[in-house]
Amino acid sequence: MKKPFVKKIDGNAPSVRKLDFEGLDDLPKYYFHDNSIITHSLNSFHVIFPEGERFFIRSVKPFQDRIKSETLRNRVKAFIGQEVQHGKEHERVWDSLRKSALPVDRIAAFYHRIVYKVIFAFLGFVFGPKINLSITAALEHYTATLGEISLKYDLARDAYGDMRKLLVWHACEEIEHKSVVYDVMREVAPGYFLRIAGFTIATVMLWSFAILFQYWFLIADREATWKRFRQDRGYARDYMRLTVPPLFGGALQYFKPNFHPDQMGGYELAETSLAAL
Ligand SMILES: [Fe+2]
Ligand SMILES: [Fe+2]
């Protein structure tokens, strides 16, 4: 992996960091503490992120020309560059999943068709491109909140090899660019109703598909027997107990009329975590 320390975390001027992680295409089947439940939960996100991040980019691009401040225009460019890198690195994990005979391509094709060709296409057609921007701003709030929780509790510590670095790097950059899309939305579509509508859609979509794909992987995995599920669920439950309450609290913050992602903090934590990679 390339040394990433050259570019510090800066919410006002995010940087694109191209890291060459090693071995993402050849991971052990249960690369997270030999735990099938957490590994398949992460696999679900390896499928969701690349297509989701391409959707983020498509959602913000139609508004780029309407942004007045040059600083924000540059932040949008960096945001796009970062999301392209995230998608690429998460997609490299798919080779590992194929080697483990997991149905990653089938799940990805289903996800692409249902979410992007049907649901989001329908929403964009009916409500216009601002709803996609609002959904993206909401999903960015979730990725930044999840990133902050994972760094705070060092949740990636039991991931194998460079998978740990991938998760930490992604968390740091999600924190770094967390307010970019929100600031674009404030400029071009500042209404409270639109913000909350996007957040509601984002919440239902993200968590229903994240759980569906986790269980799809678990059910398709012949080695993930009921006995193994019972063995693994205690450790997985500990993770859930650490993650769900602050995630819920972070979600509630989004409903405050004067909410801004910068109120959540996390920049210093991202900087120290990235420097320690
Ligand atoms: Fe990302
Ligand atoms: Fe992001």
- Rounded distance, CA 166 to CA 185, Å? 29
Distance 55 CA to ligand 1 centre (A): 11
Instruction: Indicate the helix (H) or strand (E) that contains 98.
Output: helix 70-99
Q: Could you tell me the distance, in angstroms and rounded to a whole number, from the CA of residue 206 to the centre of ligand 1?
A: 14
Give the whole-angstrom CA distance, residue 223 versus residue 39.
13
| Mean pLDDT in residue range 131-143 | 98
pLDDT in tens, 55-80: 999 999 999 999 999 999 999 999 99
Over residues 187-223, the pLDDT tens digits come to: 999 999 999 999 999 999 999 999 999 999 999 999 9
The number of beta carbons lying within 10 Å of the beta carbon of residue 84 is 16
**SS3 label, residue 259:** coil
Confidence (pLDDT) at 100: 97
Radius of gyration of the chain (CA): 18
194 CA from centroid of ligand 2 (Å):
20
pLDDT at position 4 over 60:
no
- pLDDT, average across residues 142-149: 98
Which ligand is closest in space to the CA of residue 166?
A: 1
* Model confidence band, residue 9 (pLDDT cutoffs 50, 70, 90): very high
179 — pLDDT class (breaks 50, 70, 90): very high
Residue 175, pLDDT > 90, answer yes
pLDDT of 239 higher than 60: yes
pLDDT in tens, 77-96: 999 999 999 999 999 999 99
What is the reported pLDDT for 234?
97
Share of the chain above pLDDT 90, in %: 95
Which residue matches tokens 């921007």?
133
- On the question of pLDDT at 6 being above 70, the answer is no
CA of 59 to the centre of ligand 2 (A): 12
Instruction: Measure the CA–CA gap between 130 and 181, rounded to whole angstroms.
Output: 11
Kindly list the protein residues that place their beta carbon closer than 5 angstroms to ligand 1, a single-atom ion: 83, 86
Q: In whole angstroms, give the CA distance from residue 123 to residue 132.
A: 8
Above 80 in pLDDT, residue 3?
no
b/e burial code for range 197-226 (CB count within 10 A of at least 16 → b): bbbebbbebbeebeeebbebbbeebeebee
Supply the mean pLDDT for the chain: 95
106 has a pLDDT exceeding 80: yes
Residues 101-127 have a mean pLDDT of 96
CB 161 within 8 A of CB 84: no
What's the pLDDT at 18?
A: 87
Specify the pLDDT at position 19: 84
- 95: tokens are 């080779």
Sorted by where each begins, the domain ranges of the chain are 36-276
Q: Which residue pairs from 97-103 have beta carbons closer than 8 angstroms and sit at least 24 positions apart in sequence?
A: 97/43, 97/46, 99/26, 100/29, 100/221, 101/222, 102/43, 102/217, 102/220, 102/221, 103/216, 103/217, 103/220
**Residue 84: nearest ligand to its CA?**
1
Q: Which ligand is nearest the CA of 49, by number?
A: 1
What pLDDT score was predicted for residue 265?
85
The kind and range of the H/E element at 141 are helix 129-152
pLDDT confidence band for 2 (50 / 70 / 90)? low
Tell me which residue of 274, 273, 255, 267 sits closest to 12, measured CA to CA: 267
From the CA of 82, how far away is ligand 2's center (Å)? 8
Q: Using the mean position of ligand 1's atoms as its centre, give its distance from the Cα of residue 13 in Å.
A: 16
Q: What are the Cα distances from residue 173, in Å, to 55, 108, 148, 218? A: 17, 24, 10, 29
